[in-house]
Amino acid sequence: MLQAAPQGPALERGQGTIGRTFLTGVPAVSDNAGSEPGGFGAAAKEAGLASLVAVPVISEGRLTAAVAWYF
Amino acid sequence: MKTFIRAVEVWVPSVDRSILEFGGGLYGTATRFAAISRSLCFGRGEGLPGQAWEQGRPIILKQFDGSYFKRTAAAHAEGITCGIAVPIFAGDFLTSVLVMFCGDDEAHAGAIELWRNDPTVSTDMRLVDGYYGTTADTFEFMSRRTSIRRGNGLPGMAWESQAPVFFEDLGKSARFLRADSATKVGINRGYALPCSVQRDESYVMTFLSALGTPIARRFEMWVPDAAREKLVLAAVSARPAACCRPRRKARRWSAGRAR
C-alpha cells in the first residue's frame, strides 16, 4: 500500500485543475496538463502526460481528498 | 500506452437545477463522441448521467443497446462499450456527475467494480457490479462470491477510512483478499474510492489494472492540510513499471519549482 507523504507539494484553493476541484467540490478536467501552474505543468509535459481529471472525495459533506488521474 | 479508461466527462446541474449540463470532458481520439456529448443535456432520470442523479448512487452500465443510454451509436463507433456514472454529493446536494467510459479492446485486463453495504441486510460489503475488460473471467467469478468486512481488503479499507486507498502490488499484499485471482489475470495494481451517496448505504468504487492497460497513466492523491487552506500531495502512482514514485521525485511537482 502506498504510504502517505503529507509534507509533499501543496496547492492553493483554485490553483490549477486540482485546486479548482478543492475550491468547488466538482470534478475538473484539463486537456492541457502542460499548462498547469507552477512546476506542475512542466513536470507533466516532461513526463509526457497530456491531460488530467481531478475528482473530489467527499464524506459527510466535506472534501476529504482529491484524486487526479493523468492520461 | 492505452489506458483502461477511454474517456471521462463531467455533468453539472444547471442554475435552476432542472437539468445536467456538460461541464467538461476528456475524450482522447473519440472526437465524434466528444462532439455529440458537448451538445447534450440530461434531465433527472435521462441517459446515464440522469440515471445516476435519479438513483443517487453510482451506476455501471455494460450494455448500451436497449438501455437508457443516449449515445449508443456514437459510443460503439468509437469502441466504447461500458459507462460508469458516479454522482457526487455534498450532503444532500448534488454537485456533479462524473462519467467514465471503457472500451472493448483485446487484452484489456483490469476491472472497475462497485461495492455496496446495505446495513439493513448485512454488515459486509458485496459486489454490485463490475466491468472486467476481456480477460478477467476468473477474477470476476471470485469477486462476485466475496464478502468484505469493514476495514478488510481494498473496498473495506476505503469504506472504513472514507478516503482513497492505493495498493501498488496487489499480488504481494496480504491485505488484498483476492490477490491470487488478480495475479492470474495480470491485475497487479488497485485503488478504491469511497462514494458519497444520498442514502444510508455505503458505496466504494475499486479500480484494478494490469501493467499493459493502466487505469490512467498516473494517479495522485491530495489531502487538505490541517487548516483546510491547501491541498497537500499525499500519494503518487506513476508509470506502470514503477512501484511508486519516491518522495524526492514527487517534490519535482512543487508549485513554483518549474523545470
Per-residue model confidence as pLDDT tens digits over B4-33? 889 999 999 999 999 999 999 999 999 999
Instruction: Please indicate if any CB of chain A lies within 8 Å of the CB of B12.
Output: yes
Q: Minimal Cα distance from B175: which residue of A?
A: A1
Give residue B117's domain range: 106-253
Give the CATH number, domain containing residue B52: 3.30.450.40
Task: Give the cell for residue B208.
Answer: 484494478
| Residues B41 and B150 occupy one common structural domain | no
Q: Which SS3 state, helix, strand or coil, does residue A21 take?
A: helix
Q: What is the pLDDT of residue B178?
A: 75
Residue B248 binned pLDDT confidence (cut-offs 50, 70, 90): very low
DSSP A3: P
Q: Using an 8 Å CB-CB cutoff, list chain A residues near B223.
A: 4, 6, 64-66
Q: Of B56, B74, B104, which residue constitutes the final position of a domain?
A: B104
- Confidence class for position B238, pLDDT limits 50, 70, 90: low
Q: B133 or B88: which carries more pLDDT confidence?
A: B88
Residues B99 and B111 in one domain: no
Which among A7, A38, A57 is the nearest to B164, CB-wise? Answer: A57
- B117 and B45, same structural domain? no
Provide the shortest C-alpha distance from residue A28 to chain B (in Å): 7
User: Residue A11 forms beta bridges with which residues?
Assistant: B231
The count of structural domains within chain B is: 2
- Are B74 and B134 members of one domain? no
- ipTM (interface predicted TM): 0.91
Domain stop point among B81, B104, B127: B104
Residue B193 has pLDDT above 70, yes or no: yes
- Per-residue cell: B230: 491547501
Cell digits of residue A6 = 503529507
Chain A, window 1-30: residues with a beta carbon less than 8 angstroms from a chain B beta carbon: 1-13, 15, 18-19, 22, 24-29
| A59 vs B176 pLDDT, higher one | A59
The owner of cell 492505493 is B166
- B130 and B92, same structural domain? no
Give the residue from A17, A21, A36, A58 with the most B CB atoms within 10 Å of its CB, the best one to mutate: A58
Same domain, B88 and B112: no
B66 shares its domain with B91: yes
Residues of chain B with pLDDT > 90, as a percent, come to 58
What mean pLDDT, rounded, does chain B reach? 85
Q: What percentage of chain B exceeds 70 in pLDDT? A: 85
Whether the per-residue pLDDT at B240 is higher than 70: the answer is no
- At A51 the three-state DSSP class reads coil
Write down the pTM of the prediction: 0.87
Same domain, B114 and B55: no
DSSP string, chain B: ---SEEEEEEEEE-TTSSEEEEEEEE-TT-HHHHHHHHT-EEETTSHHHHHHHHHTS-EEE---TTSS-S-HHHHHHTTEEEEEEEEEEETTEEEEEEEEEEE--TT--EEEEEEEE-TTT-SSEEEEEEE-TTT-HHHHHHHHT-EE-TTSHHHHHHHHHTS-EEES-GGG-TT-TTHHHHHHTTEEEEEEEEE--SSS-EEEEEEEEESSS-SSSEEEEEEE-TTSSEEEEEEEE-STT-S---HHHHGGG-TT---
Looking at the fold, whether B10 and B78 belong to one and the same domain comes out as yes
The ranges assigned to domains in chain A are: 16-70
Q: Which amino acid is at B62?
A: K
CA triple B130-B135-B137, angle to 5 deg: 60
Query: What is the average pLDDT across B145-150?
Result: 92
Distances (CA, A) of B102 to A49, B114, B223: 19, 15, 27
pLDDT tens sequence across B135-147 = 667 778 888 888 9
Check pLDDT > 90 for residue B124.
yes
Domain boundary among B104, B127, B161: B104
Residue B259 inside a domain? The answer is: no
Residues B141 and B159 in one domain: yes
Instruction: Indicate yes or no: CB of B233 within 8 angstroms of CB of A2.
Output: no
